[in-house]
Structure 1
């Protein structure tokens, strides 16, 4: 019997356009995604550096790009957030304890709130008992401490909690910790199919 659901954000509720971010950075002159950019991204996602340091890290590889261009390219990954997904969330919010646990950064969240509008963002956040962004809590999935942080803060029983995420390394860790899991496949699955999948 599922009592609580922990959702990921990107590619679960908001669509991510990975092709767009690749295209936009290539336009700025980035020919390959370097290891140090991956490390930079992870540091930004756990709040160890601020936006300026993050963008300046990109400038080392893109000396001709300004801060605004790099920020725009970084945000190009954010796609649509269909209204029907919000309506689905609102429908189940009274039946389950809902939580959001997302690996993300301040730049993307600010862009999401600006793009969709404060009212939409507020309606979305209000569906959850608590929203956890990695850059605010200083831990990112699949670190088991990210899951334990939510469990301990809300006294959740993993066996009665469903974890929904598009990344297999994240659902694998959650499963190891005793959660029920759904490794949602973007472009194939849609979060609104939760009942059809007999997951809850």
Structure 2
């Protein structure tokens, strides 16, 4: 019997174009997504560096690009957040304890809140017992620590907890801790299909 649900954010609630940032950065002069950029990204996502350090790190590989152009390219990953998903989430709040667990950074969250508006963002956040953004609490999925942090903080029982994510490596990590999972197939499934999955 599931009594708590941990949701991923990107491609579960807000739609993403994962290829857009790299394509936009390529137009600014990046040739490929290299180890240095990957390290910068993970450092920023876990709050080890601030936005300016991150953007300047990318700029070192793009000396002709302005920081504002780099920021715009980085935010191109964010698409729309359909209202029906928020309404579905609001319906779930009376039945389950809900949590958000997302690998993200301050730049993307600021852009998300600006894009949907403060009122929409507040309504979204208020659906959760707690929102965990990797840049705020320092762990990234699929690190076991990320899941354990949420479980421990709220005394959640893994077998009574459902985790929903679109990335298989995150799903596997959760399953190793005994958490129930739904590997959401982007483009084929939607989070509002939850009750059709027979996993609650």
TM class by smaller structure: over 0.9
Distance 1:171 1:55 in 2: 30
The Cα of 1:13 is off from its aligned counterpart by 0.4
2:108 maps to which residue? Answer: 108
SS at match of 2:29: coil
The Cα of 1:22 is off from its aligned counterpart by 2.6
Alignment of 1:1-200 (within 5 A): 1-200=1-200
- Per-residue CA distance 1:24-74 (angstroms, 9 max, x = gap): 112111121111100110000000000000001101111100110000000
- Per-residue CA distance 1:68-105 (angstroms, 9 max, x = gap): 00000000000110000000000111100000000000
SS at match of 1:94: coil
The Cα of 1:19 is off from its aligned counterpart by 3.0
Distance 1:5 1:45 in 2: 23
Distance 1:180 1:35 in 2: 33
- Unaligned runs of at least 5 residues, structure 2: none
- Unaligned runs of at least 5 residues, structure 1: none
Distance 2:187 2:18 in 1: 13
- Per-residue CA distance 1:122-150 (angstroms, 9 max, x = gap): 00000000000000001111110111100
SS at match of 1:10: coil
- TM value normalised by structure 1: 0.98
Aligned length: 200
More displaced stretch, 14-23 vs 63-72: 14-23
SS at match of 2:99: strand
The Cα of 1:193 is off from its aligned counterpart by 0.4
Distance 1:152 1:98 in 2: 15
Distance 2:175 2:198 in 1: 17
Q: Which runs of 4+ in 1 moved over 4 A?
A: none
- TM value normalised by structure 2: 0.98
Distance 2:40 2:186 in 1: 25
Distance 1:87 1:199 in 2: 20
